[in-house]
Amino acid sequence: MPDPATGPALIQSYLKTLAHGPGVYRMLDDQARVLYVGKARDLHARVSNYARPSGHSPRIARMISETASMMFLTTRTETEALLLEQNLIKQLKPRYNVLLRDDKSFPNILVAKDHGFARIEKHRGAKKKKGAYYGPFASAGAVNRTLNTLQRAFLLRTCSDSDFETRSRPCLLFQIKRCSAPCVGRISEADYAELVSDAERFLKGRSTEMQETLARDMQAASEAMEFERAAALRDRIKALTSVQTAQGINPRTVAEADVIALHAEGGQACVQVFFIRAHQNWGNHDYYPRVSGDEDPAEVMQAFIGQFYANREPPRMLILSHGPDDTDLVEQALAERRGAKVELVVPQRGERAELVSHAARNARESLARRMAETATQGKLLRGLAEAFDLPAVPTRVEVYDNSHIQGTNAVGAMIVAGPDGFDKGQYRKFNIKGADLTPGDDFGMMKEVLTRRFKRLLKEDPERQSGAWPGLLLIDGGAGQVSAVRQILDELGVGDVPMVGVAKGVDRDHGKEEFHRTGQRPMALRRGDPVLYFIQRLRDEAHRFAIGTHRAKRAKAVGATPLDDIPGVGATRKRALLAHFGSAKAVSRANLADLKAVEGISDALAETIYGHFHDGV
């Protein structure tokens, strides 16, 4: 009798107790790592398919051969199973599932209405602020372009409430005709509200109607010889026209939809998503889900839709290049997420088909560029391995740098590069915490950074199975830095991780870098070597990230006050105290009665603030 330790025999052994009904199953290897997560209308029937000895695709056959155990969870409905499946895939990232790797949130435009004069701003995250939200936009650039248009066309403010309240004269934005200066009374509240209303009509897709109205108003102003008003109206019309031109596609028959097109080639896939809102194109974004190459388009599309909308509200319609495996089921799941009907469409003709064709062309071209870049990146990584005699071609290169000013606001930074280029989702910053460090001690800072980094790696993945372990460390420094880092790695028990120090070399000039390795003489690469340029780009990116992190920390420190350390004093109460007393120093000297007089400060909090500055008395 065959040993049921792995493979079809093992799967067959589960069928005796497995119920008929919807649910989710997990396949695990002999290290209890999840290989695959799937859902089924009938768990018994689905799992019995895996128990067959043949008839599987190469990917599924490999997965079955590695399966050493399975886990099951029954659900009430198949829709519930689909939602659970996609959540588990996002959480566990199984090796054999189609996996959406880029999961960032998209920005919106917020017309904030918690003030008499509404402001416009870019917004990410939970929609907790009072106001109207418009989006999503595919990128920060798409939002910024639209915000610039709203400023030029409607003269709406973007300043914070605190800036608004403290201004005594108009800012530069008023001078360059980007704001109507409500802060100093250059426009009435009623007239400003009319501008806000016009801006929201534009964001709702009623721009053509608005342009016609503006054109009539401009003509009337011109006939009345109000030439300054006519010129202002003309500028608003030009601003609206410019954003429509930049958007490119503005469908007449599609008010709200996401257009999703898939192109697969050479074992890779690209999914292009266009956001259509209010009959306007609000940008597009490309995704490269992890695939093995033998999945059919319907499987990839269903996996992508499930993961993409797991934490996002879907629009009323998805216009697709390929239908998913279970269209009705996906529509039900999306409708639950949205709280209203969601329609999936695979158009064959008309404007919708043109939208899909355009998205598919973008997907095809994006994948071709990525494949070319990946080939170049792979060649550079092989060049790194050859140049430094590495035991294997690195699939993950980590580059470290520090930044500080005479030891203050010190930060360490790590960037990551691999076969797909810079992996910004893996970048890490380290606030230097060592109290015993001498200001400016770069060796000490590097020791703290690497110790924290590798202690965490050893805790999370001691067997080095996850791909999170670097194939090469690049350190900014010469022989002394390399020797110190090697000692740190040896103490942590990871001395086998390859490491190279990059020193500036003669005259600290690009192209004259020296490379230092433990126990070997310094070496250099010839000028013009692509590998040398590659290393320079890696080092410059690490330096850019470190400097940016340091500046952000320094800016935060500049805005800090002693009030930040008082329990119960958040941003709102901090503003109230500073507005009332003028400075944190004045707050520290205030008596208890004065503190109690500040709006929003309770008697108990006033006593806490007073005690904080007077030794708890």
Q: CA-to-CA distance for 420 and 77, rounded, in angstroms?
A: 39
CB proximity list for 192: less than 8 A, separation 6 or greater? 117, 118, 180, 182
pLDDT of residue 2: 43
Sketch out the chain's domains with CATH numbers: 7-92 (3.40.1440.10), 108-247 (no CATH), 256-368 (3.30.420.10), 397-460+468-535 (3.30.420.340), 562-613 (1.10.150.20)
**Tokens representing 350?**
């008309």
Q: φ, ψ for residue 498 (rounded to 5)?
A: -60, 140
**Type of residue numbered 399:** V
Over residues 18-32, the pLDDT tens digits come to 989 999 999 999 888
Instruction: Mean pLDDT check: name the lowest of 182-191, 205-214, 470-479.
Output: 205-214
pTM over 0.75: no
Torsion of CA 383, 389, 395, 399, to 10 degrees: -90
182 cis-preceded (ω within 30 degrees of 0): no
In order, the DSSP letters of 28-45 are: E-TT--EEEEEEESSHHH
- Give whole-number Cα distances, 60 to 26, 66, 300, 530, in Å: 14, 10, 15, 40
3-state SS track over 238-270: HHHHHHHHHHCCCCCCCCEEEEEEEEEECCEEE
pLDDT of residue 292: 83
pLDDT band at 114; cut points 50, 70, 90:
confident
The average pLDDT across 265-290 equals 89
Q: CA-to-CA distance for 525 and 510, rounded, in angstroms?
A: 12
198: left (phi over 0), alpha (psi -120 to 50) or beta: alpha
pLDDT of residue 599: 85
Among 12, 6, 22, CA closest to 78? 22
295 - beta bridge partners? none
- Give whole-number Cα distances, 211 to 196, 217, 617, in Å: 16, 10, 65
Q: φ, ψ for residue 462 (rounded to 5)?
A: -65, -25
Inform me whether the pLDDT recorded for 4 exceeds 70. Answer: no
pLDDT of residue 1: 39
Q: CA-to-CA distance for 513 and 505, rounded, in angstroms?
A: 5
Inform me whether the pLDDT recorded for 408 exceeds 70. Answer: no
- Angle at which helix 297-308 crosses helix 78-92, to 10 degrees, equals 80
Over residues 353-396, the pLDDT tens digits come to 999 999 999 999 989 888 888 888 999 999 999 999 999 999 99
CB proximity list for 148: less than 8 A, separation 6 or greater? none
Inform me whether the pLDDT recorded for 508 exceeds 60. Answer: no
Q: CA-to-CA distance for 206 and 250, rounded, in angstroms?
A: 12
CB proximity list for 60: less than 8 A, separation 6 or greater? 50, 96
The average pLDDT across 81-99 equals 90
Among 283, 275, 281, 279, CA closest to 312? 275
> In terms of residues, how long is the chain?
617
Over residues 563-612, the pLDDT tens digits come to 777 878 877 888 888 888 877 788 888 888 888 888 888 888 888 888 88
The residue behind tokens 């580059």 is 399
Q: CA-to-CA distance for 187 and 155, rounded, in angstroms?
A: 10
> Are the beta carbons of 63 and 35 closer than 8 angstroms?
yes
pLDDT band at 331; cut points 50, 70, 90:
very high
pLDDT of residue 436: 63
pLDDT of residue 506: 61
When computed from its CA atoms, the radius of gyration of the chain, rounded to whole angstroms, is 30
CB proximity list for 538: less than 8 A, separation 6 or greater? 397, 399, 415, 417, 474
Mean pLDDT of the chain: 85
The average pLDDT across 93-107 equals 83
Torsion of CA 92, 95, 96, 97, to 10 degrees: 40
pLDDT of residue 616: 46
Among 378, 480, 386, CA closest to 419? 378
**Tokens representing 380?**
């550079």
Q: CA-to-CA distance for 371 and 93, rounded, in angstroms?
A: 23
Does the CA dihedral 131-132-138-139 come out positive or negative? negative
CB atoms within 10 A of CB 602: 12
The average pLDDT across 213-237 equals 79
Inform me whether the pLDDT recorded for 75 exceeds 50. Answer: yes
The average pLDDT across 109-133 equals 88
pLDDT of residue 320: 96
Q: Provide the strand spans (E) within 499-593.
A: 499-503, 514-516
The residue behind tokens 């939809």 is 257
Inform me whether the pLDDT recorded for 558 exceeds 80. Answer: no
The average pLDDT across 169-198 equals 90
Over residues 421-460, the pLDDT tens digits come to 898 889 998 887 765 666 656 777 888 889 999 999 998 8
> Are the beta carbons of 418 and 396 closer than 8 angstroms?
yes
Inform me whether the pLDDT recorded for 297 exceeds 90. Answer: yes
Q: CA-to-CA distance for 572 and 194, rounded, in angstroms?
A: 29
Three-point CA angle 280, 283, 286, nearest 5°: 140
Q: CA-to-CA distance for 195 and 112, rounded, in angstroms?
A: 14
pLDDT of residue 245: 53
Among 39, 86, 465, 97, CA closest to 291? 97
Pairing type for strands 421-422 and 472-476 reads unpaired
